[in-house]
């Protein structure tokens, strides 16, 4: 089958890429565009390692057909920081609070947390846990991740 042209805004930039008709968004991001911060673990949309933000909503990119991003805004972990050499407050908080261990789940956790804080700038601990419930972590036990998100929320909304 002939390739299809996908046009989207990726991390604030207009992007056009020829893709296979049935390609999943995670594969296009990683293999065609070189954005390897989006991880693929389960391949079934269950673990959240592939989390990206599509038009303001958290999605599992491993099960999302890439063409669903046509003419839409996609944010990956590579686009979260406010500029070169700078970190987003969530990234800083994850480091400061020891919320990163192996790091495999971290991009998805940060993107889910960002979407949560964009919608609810002052979440409770329970709301953070619910907001991160689609992201699995096998290393941290979630306590430090939740602490990091709450600290970032406080810092971002002073």
- Report the predicted TM-score, pTM, of the whole model to 2 decimal places: 0.95
Among candidate residues 45, 79, 113, the one where a domain is terminated: 79
Q: Are residues 101 and 74 in the same domain?
A: no
Residue pointed to by tokens 């971290």: 106
| pLDDT of amino acid 157 | 86
Q: Are residues 8 and 68 in the same domain?
A: yes
Rounded CA-CA distance 19/27 in Å is: 10
Q: Considering its fold, how many domains does the chain have in total?
A: 2
Tokens of 148: 């990091």
| pLDDT of amino acid 140 | 84
In a domain, 49, yes or no: yes
Q: Are residues 94 and 71 in the same domain?
A: no
Among candidate residues 79, 104, 139, the one where a domain is terminated: 79
- Alpha-carbon Rg for the chain, nearest whole angstrom, is 15
Helix axes 143-156, 89-96, angle to 10 degrees: 140
| pLDDT of amino acid 125 | 98
Helical residues (DSSP H) of the chain, grouped into ranges: 25-27, 89-96, 106-119, 125-131, 143-156
In a domain, 126, yes or no: yes
What domain range includes position 138? 89-156
Ranges in the chain, pLDDT < 50: none
Q: Are residues 8 and 74 in the same domain?
A: yes
In a domain, 40, yes or no: yes
Q: Are residues 22 and 42 in the same domain?
A: yes
Q: Strand, helix or coil at 79? A: helix
| pLDDT of amino acid 1 | 80
Rounded CA-CA distance 62/133 in Å is: 17
Tokens of 101: 């261990």
Residue pointed to by tokens 């971002």: 156
Rounded CA-CA distance 154/105 in Å is: 23
Q: Are residues 74 and 101 in the same domain?
A: no
| pLDDT of amino acid 84 | 92
Tokens of 105: 């789940």
In a domain, 84, yes or no: no
In a domain, 27, yes or no: yes
| pLDDT of amino acid 158 | 73
């Amino acid at each position: 089958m002939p390739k299809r042209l996908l046009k989207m805004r990726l991390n604030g930039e207009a992007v056009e890429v020829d893709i296979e008709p049935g390609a999943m968004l995670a594969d296009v991001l990683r293999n065609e565009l070189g954005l390897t911060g989006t991880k693929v673990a389960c391949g079934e949309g269950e673990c959240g390692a592939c989390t990206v933000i599509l038009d303001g909503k958290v999605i599992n990119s491993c099960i999302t057909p890439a063409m669903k991003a046509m003419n839409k805004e996609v944010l990956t972990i590579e686009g979260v920081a406010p500029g070169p050499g700078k970190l987003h407050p969530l990234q800083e908080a994850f480091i400061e609070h020891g919320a990163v261990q192996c790091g495999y789940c971290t991009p998805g956790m940060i993107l889910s947390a960002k979407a949560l804080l964009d919608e609810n700038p002052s979440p409770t601990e329970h709301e953070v846990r619910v907001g991160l419930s689609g992201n699995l972590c096998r290393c941290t036990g979630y306590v430090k991740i939740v602490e990091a998100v709450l600290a970032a929320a406080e810092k971002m909304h002073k």
